Chains A and B, each alone.
Chain A
C-alpha cells in the first residue's frame, strides 16, 4: 500500500560508486593494464615456438606455462586480451555511433525516417544475431571482416531502439514542453534534458554489447568459424589446447578464465539493478 506520508522521509541519494561498480572497474583496469602492458613486459613473440617447453606448467621459466608448441601462455593471453578488447571496442563503437544518432533522429523527427528504420531493424531482428553472423562468415570463414560486420549489424539495433524509445519518452514529458514554452531551443533540450536521461542506459548497453562481442568472437573462434590459430584469440586457444586437457587442464582453462574475467568486469562495472 502506498503511504503518502512515507514520501516525506528524506531519500538518501545513492552514491554512484557502489561496491560492485568499484570492483568491476578495478577488474577492468587490471585487465586493460595486462592487455596493454603484458606484451611489452614479456617481450616474447606469442608465436615463437619452443618444443622443449611444450606444456610447461605455470611457475618455472614461463610464468603461466607454455602451450603445446612451447609458446609462452602469458604472452599469448596478453595478446588475446588485447585482441578481444580491441575487436569488441571497434565493433561496439561502430554499432553505437550510428545507433544512437539514428535513434535520436527517429525520436526527434518521427515520420517516414522512423518507419524506415523500424523496418530495417525488424528485418535484422527476425533472425537471432549469431545466425546472421554465421551466414556472413560463410563468405570468408576465419577472417575478422564478416565477424565485425555481422556483429556491428546486429548490435547497432539495440542502441537505436533503446535511444529512440528513451528519447521519445523524455520528449513526450511535460517538462520538455515547459522548457520549450520558456524559450529554450532544441540544442538545450537535447543536451540538458535528453542526454542525462539516456546516458546511464547507454553506458550499460555499451558494456552489454562489449560482453556480447567478446563472447561471440571467442565462441565463433572456438567452433572454428571465427579467427583461427595461430592467432592468439582466446576462443581459438581453447580449441587448440583441448586435445591436451588430460595433461594440462589448467592451460585449457586459462583463456576461458580470462574471458570470464573480462565479461565479469563489464557486468559488475555497469550493474545498476539486480538482474
Chain B
C-alpha cells in the first residue's frame, strides 16, 4: 500500500522533471532572445519588458552554467511558481484553475459513462460467450477501436448535431454541450473495457473456485454476485490505469475538437502559439491528472484484491 503510493509519488516527480526539462530546453531552443521570452513568461507582458529582460539576463546570466539555470527553473516549478502566459499575460495558475473545472467535468463524465456502458456489456458477454451480446459487442469494439477519437467525435457531431439536431455541435456551459464530447470519449473507453470485462468474466467462469461455488449449491445469481463480480472487477479496474492514458490523450483532442475551454484545449493552443509557460503548466496539469487517476486505480485494486502483490 505504502509502496503503491510511493511509486505514484515518484511518477509525479518524474512528470515534473520531464515537463520541466523539456520546457527549459524549449525556451532556449526557440528563435529570438530567450531572456526576453523568459521575462515575458515570468512577469507578464505588462511589465517593463526590456528592463525585466535585462534583469533576467543578469539573474540567470549567460555566464551561469546551464545546469545552474536548470536548477533555478526546476526550483520554481517545485514551488508551483508557473509564471505568466506570454499570450494573455495572466498567471498560469489562475488560468489552470479556470480550465481545470471543464477538464474534470469532461473526463469525469466520460469515465462514469464508459463504466456504465463497458463493464455491464462485458459481464453479459462473458457469462454467455458466443451469444449475441458477445458477438455484437465484439464487432462494436473492433469498429470503435478503429476510429480515432476525432473521427468518432466528428461522426457523432454529424449524426446527433447536424442530422438529428439533438445536441449542440460545440460549446461549453450546459450538460447538453458536454453530452457529445463525453460520449465520444466514453465510447472509445467502453470499447476496450467491455472486452477486458468480458475476458475477465470468461476467465473467472473457467476457474476451479467458480465451479466449486456452483457445486457447493449456491444459486446462480448468488454465484455471480458474490464470486464473479469482485474477481472479474480486478482486471477491469487495473486496466483502467492504462485507459487513463487514452482518457488524457482523448481529453486533449476532444476539447480541441468541441471547443471546450479546458486544459487540453489550452495546451494545444499554447503549442501552436509557442507560449512556453502555458505549455509547461498545462502539460504538467494533464500529466499530474494522469498520475492521480492511476493512483486511484491502484488503491481500488489494492482494496479489491487481498492477495499479496508481486513486484
In their complex, do chains A and B touch, with some C-beta pair under 8 Å? Answer: yes
User: Contacting A126 at CB < 8 Å: which of B18, B155, B256?
Assistant: B18
Instruction: Decide if B143 is an interface residue (CB 8 Å cutoff).
Output: yes
Whether B145 pairs with A267 at a CB distance below 8 angstroms is yes
Q: Are A127 and B287 in contact (CB under 8 A)?
A: yes
Closest 9 interchain pairs by CB? A126-B14, A130-B249, A264-B146, A1-B211, A256-B151, A263-B146, A215-B148, A223-B256, A275-B195
Q: Is the CB of A260 within 8 A of B23?
A: no
The number of A-B residue pairs with CB atoms under 8 Å apart is 145
Residues of B within 8 A of A139 (CB): 26, 29-30
- Given A138-B270, A253-B154, 13 more A-B residue pairs with CB atoms under 8 Å apart are A1-B211, A122-B11, A123-B14, A131-B249, A138-B274, A138-B276, A223-B150, A225-B271, A238-B150, A253-B155, A256-B147, A263-B147, A275-B141
Known: A127-B290, A274-B138. A134 touches B268 (CB 8 A): yes
Docked complex Cα distance between A235 and B15 (Å): 29
How far apart are the CA atoms of A235 and B257 in the complex, in Å? 12
Residues of B within 8 A of A238 (CB): 150-151, 154
What distance in Å separates the Cβ of B297 from its nearest Cβ neighbour in chain A? 14
User: In the complex, A247→B211 CA distance in Å?
Assistant: 60
Residues on A facing B (Cβ under 8 Å): 1-2, 122-124, 126-132, 134-139, 141, 211, 215, 218-219, 222-225, 235, 238, 242, 245-246, 249, 252-253, 256, 259-261, 263-264, 267-268, 271, 273-275
Does A138 lie within 8 Å of B279, measured CB to CB?
yes
User: Which residues 171-223 of B sit at the A interface, judged by CB distance below 8 A?
Assistant: 192, 195-196, 198-199, 208, 211-212, 215
Describe A's contact surface by its main secondary structure: helix
For B142, the chain A residues whose CB sits under 8 A away are 264, 267-268, 271
Say which size band chain B's interface belongs to.
35 or more
Q: Is the CB of A132 within 8 A of B18?
A: yes
> Cβ of B287 and Cβ of A126 under 8 Å apart?
yes
Q: Would you list 16 pairs from A and B whose C-beta atoms are within 8 A, ordered by A residue?
A: A122-B14, A127-B15, A128-B249, A129-B245, A130-B252, A131-B249, A135-B23, A137-B271, A138-B26, A139-B29, A218-B148, A219-B149, A222-B253, A224-B272, A263-B147, A268-B142
| Distance in Å: Cβ of A35 to nearest Cβ of chain B | 17
Q: Which chain A residues lie closer than 8 Å to B212 at the CB level?
A: 1
Contact of A260 among B151, B270, B287 (CB under 8 A): B151
Q: Which residues of B contact A274 (CB under 8 A)?
A: 138, 195, 198-199
Contact status A131-B256, CB under 8 Å: no
Docked CA distance A136–B11 (Å) = 20
Task: For the complex, give the distance between the alpha carbons of A260 and B146 in Å.
Answer: 5
- In angstroms, how far is the closest chain B Cβ from the Cβ of A72? 22
A245-B162 in contact given A128-B286, A219-B253, A223-B257 (Cβ < 8 Å): yes
Nearest-CB residue, chain A, relative to B215? A1
B248 in contact (CB, < 8 A): yes
- Asked whether any CB of chain A lies closer than 8 Å to the CB of B22, the reply is yes
B268 — which chain A residues lie within 8 A by C-beta? 134, 223-225
Residues of B within 8 A of A246 (CB): 162
